[in-house]
Amino acid sequence: MIPNGYLIFEDESFLDSTVAKMNALRKSGQFCDVRLQVCGHELMAHRAVLACCSPYLFEIFNGDSEPQGGVSLVKFDDLNPEAVEILLNYAYTAQLKADKELVRDVYSAAKKLKMERVKQICGDYLLSKMDCQSAIPYRNFASSMGDGRLLGKIDGYIQEHFSEISQEEDFLKLPRLKLEVMLEDNLNLPSNGKLYSKVINWVQRSLWENGEPLERLMEEVQTLYYSADHKLHDGSLLEGQTEVCGSEDDSIQFVQKKPPRESVQRQMSTGGLSPGSAGQLSKHEWKYIASEKTTNNTYLCLAVLKGILCVIVLHGRSSPQSSPSATPCLMKSLSFEGQPEEPEEKLLTPMHYARSGLGTAHLDGKLIAAGGYNREECLRTVECYDPKKDCWTFIAPMRTPRARFQMAVLMGQLYVMGGSNGHSDELSCGETYNPHADEWTQVPELRTNRCNAGVCALNNKLFVVGGSDPCGQKGLKNCDSFDPVSKTWTNCAPLNIRRHQAAVCELDGFVYVIGGAESWNCLNSVERYNPDNNTWTLVAPMNVARRGAGVAVHKGKLFVVGGFDGSHALCCVECYDPAKNEWKMLGNMTSARSNAGVAVLGDVVCSIGGFDGNEFLSTMEVYDADANEWSPCVGAFSQD
């Protein structure tokens, strides 16, 4: 067919014959320009083909400007040669053929080569073949690969078939933590999920506050005491000791808790905790998976403790003991039979979207959560939380998807500036939201593109402080103010220290910029801007260096929440008193949260979304100042 004078011909057999010939050339070593040495085996291939299929090899070839003899050499000492050959065939033919015994090795090789589609196909195949006998080995494999999607599917299977899986040999070989729990008469234990969340939180505290290695906890039976205030205490309390564990986490999702700063040296000296990368899921997983009752007073639980898959054997003791208050009372055996279920508190409704690096603000009695990202997708959507109805609704979306920005209220309108849209590192554009018209309109652009900058309102002007440079490698000292009436930007005095991902807030007529990072080294220093003389002054530093923290003003003090310390997402919170120029540590959040949103709604501080080191969060929790603790439950929320 020749429309408009052009010759068009499609050869349906060309592609199949060409790829077959190219694969034949590879196997015979003809025209090959790359050698893959895999555990002593040599495989030949063509760079152009492999670069199209493997982002990992593309990066290597792209930086290998003059390969020796015109042939690139890539060595792998940790992959199965048969699995790599299977991937090479796939790269040339688009056909993946692997014996079932090799699927895990193919997955591992695909992970190394960053061939995500092959990883997913192999993972789905493993799920389709999983049974009670293979569930534990498959889970160990998924954990070692850091595959959260695969882990979630496997854990769901384990929950459904836990009784059968608990009889399998691989389950019986797992390390075991043996616990005896005692409780006062007339006191009921919580439901299984809540009980094991308390147990896992106790293990965390034993490891990180007392410096106990996990292996030592497993050497002998551990005795715990469940007190009338619904907390788990160490069994040593029964011998009259008065030290108790802190408040317990009722959430059934577990994240790594950052220990108090002063205990870090003790941890390192005792070997209680070895630091690692937050990106390695297996090293930071704390999770309750499943449990069942085996006898009248014994329960089995499968859980992950510090990245180690373990069985918790929980047994009830019926012998009389004395309580920590030294008041004699009867203990009863651990049994859920015949006991009324402790009423479950209703959790605060989560956002429709998990969001990290979002903008948050209080506007007209409601909480606004805008943008942010979930994995690599930047969001335009904006959600509004009504505390009276405990529900989230959508309002008009922003004009531009953006994350890694902050939001402020100025003259009754929301303002957002800069950030990232997921495609370019920094944005210079900004926009403002009119709640009466329910629409966003553009505002004049920043003079420099800015990501991870702090934003706040002061004296009817918008201040944009710090942020990342155009290359995203180091912080900025820039400070600019925007006049919404004249719609003009003005340069202010620069910061003393370069900062990006700092928390920025107004308090008592000053702008505070808190923590952040100079390049990637987290800061605990704090600066205060005086608009009267256009100067920045250093004030007392925080106790914990952090970037990506949230900040809010509550009862005349600054509350700095969560963040990232360079290794882990943080759950710790501290408060700054400007009158005393000092910082004080407060109760920890129930979840670690970096790049979360923080705002005051009514008379409580709210923390929303963020990243806990493993997952992007949609949940919210609030701070109870009287109890000095955080709660994800509706009952903890109040308004004046």
How far is 430 from 425, CA to CA, in rounded Å?
15
Q: Which helix (H) or strand (E) holds 122?
A: helix 116-129
End-to-end Cα distance, the chain: 77
Q: Which pLDDT value is given to residue 243?
A: 33
Tokens of 41: 């085996």
526: Cα separation from own chain's centroid: 25
Whether residue 178 contacts residue 315, with contact meaning beta carbons closer than 8 Å, is answered with yes
Domain boundary among 273, 297, 318: 318
| Structural domain containing residue 107 | 12-129
If asked whether residues 27 and 115 sit together in one domain, one would say yes
Q: How confident is the model at residue 231 (pLDDT cuts 50, 70, 90)?
A: confident
Q: Which DSSP string corresponds to 86-119?
A: HHHHHHHHS-----GGGHHHHHHHHHHHT-HHHH
Domain boundary among 111, 129, 147: 129
Q: Which pLDDT value is given to residue 251?
A: 28
Q: How far is CA 38 from CA 68, 73, 74, 555, in A?
A: 19, 11, 8, 63
Residue 529 buriedness (CB in 10 A; 0-12 / 13-18 / 19+): buried
Q: Minimal CA–CA distance to 86: which of 68, 72, 100?
A: 100
If asked whether residues 121 and 197 sit together in one domain, one would say no
Q: Which pLDDT value is given to residue 184?
A: 61
If asked whether residues 181 and 104 sit together in one domain, one would say no
Whether residue 423 contacts residue 373, with contact meaning beta carbons closer than 8 Å, is answered with no
Is the pLDDT higher at 379 or at 294?
379
Tokens of 498: 């370069």
Domain boundary among 275, 293, 318: 318
Confirm whether 91 is domain-assigned.
Answer: yes
Is the pLDDT higher at 507 or at 469?
507
Q: What is the DSSP letter of 323?
A: -
Q: Which pLDDT value is given to residue 263?
A: 32
Q: Does residue 619 have a pLDDT over 90?
A: yes
Sheet containing strand 72-76, edge to edge, reads: 41-45, 34-38, 72-76
Neighbouring-strand partners of residue 606: 599, 622
Confirm whether 43 is domain-assigned.
Answer: yes
Q: Which pLDDT value is given to residue 246?
A: 33
Q: What percent of the chain has pLDDT over 90?
A: 49
Confirm whether 453 is domain-assigned.
Answer: no
Confirm whether 21 is domain-assigned.
Answer: yes
Whether residue 477 contacts residue 497, with contact meaning beta carbons closer than 8 Å, is answered with yes
Q: Minimal CA–CA distance to 511: which of 523, 493, 524, 498?
A: 493
438-447, 509-518, 574-583: least confidently modelled range = 438-447
Q: What pTM, to 2 d.p., does this model score? A: 0.51
If asked whether residues 20 and 116 sit together in one domain, one would say yes
Confirm whether 113 is domain-assigned.
Answer: yes
If asked whether residues 117 and 185 sit together in one domain, one would say no
Number of folded domains that form the chain? 3
Confirm whether 184 is domain-assigned.
Answer: yes
Q: What is the DSSP letter of 347?
A: B
Whether residue 263 contacts residue 210, with contact meaning beta carbons closer than 8 Å, is answered with no
If asked whether residues 124 and 184 sit together in one domain, one would say no
How far is 308 from 207, CA to CA, in rounded Å?
13
Confirm whether 412 is domain-assigned.
Answer: no
Mean pLDDT of the chain: 82
If asked whether residues 119 and 192 sit together in one domain, one would say no
For the residues 191-216, what does the mean pLDDT come to? 74
If asked whether residues 313 and 213 sit together in one domain, one would say yes
What CATH number does the domain containing 124 carry? 3.30.710.10
Q: Which pLDDT value is given to residue 68?
A: 66
Q: Does residue 20 have a pLDDT over 50?
A: yes
How far is 4 from 121, CA to CA, in rounded Å?
44
How far is 214 from 203, CA to CA, in rounded Å?
8
How far is 467 from 445, CA to CA, in rounded Å?
15
How far is 557 from 176, CA to CA, in rounded Å?
46
Q: Does residue 241 have a pLDDT over 50?
A: no
Confirm whether 464 is domain-assigned.
Answer: no
If asked whether residues 209 and 88 sit together in one domain, one would say no
If asked whether residues 179 and 124 sit together in one domain, one would say no
If asked whether residues 100 and 221 sit together in one domain, one would say no
State the helix-helix crossing angle for 103-113 and 116-129, rounded to 10 degrees.
Answer: 160
How far is 554 from 573, CA to CA, in rounded Å?
13
Q: Which pLDDT value is given to residue 337?
A: 36
Angle at 285 between CA 235 and CA 283, to 5 degrees: 105
Q: How confident is the model at residue 16 (pLDDT cuts 50, 70, 90)?
A: confident
Q: What is the 3-state secondary structure (H, E, C) of 386-417?
A: ECCCCEEEEECCCCCCCECCCEEEECCEEEEE
If asked whether residues 178 and 299 sit together in one domain, one would say yes
Rank 6-20, 239-253, 397-411, 459-473 by mean pLDDT and report only the highest: 397-411
State the helix-helix crossing angle for 116-129 and 148-160, rounded to 10 degrees.
Answer: 10
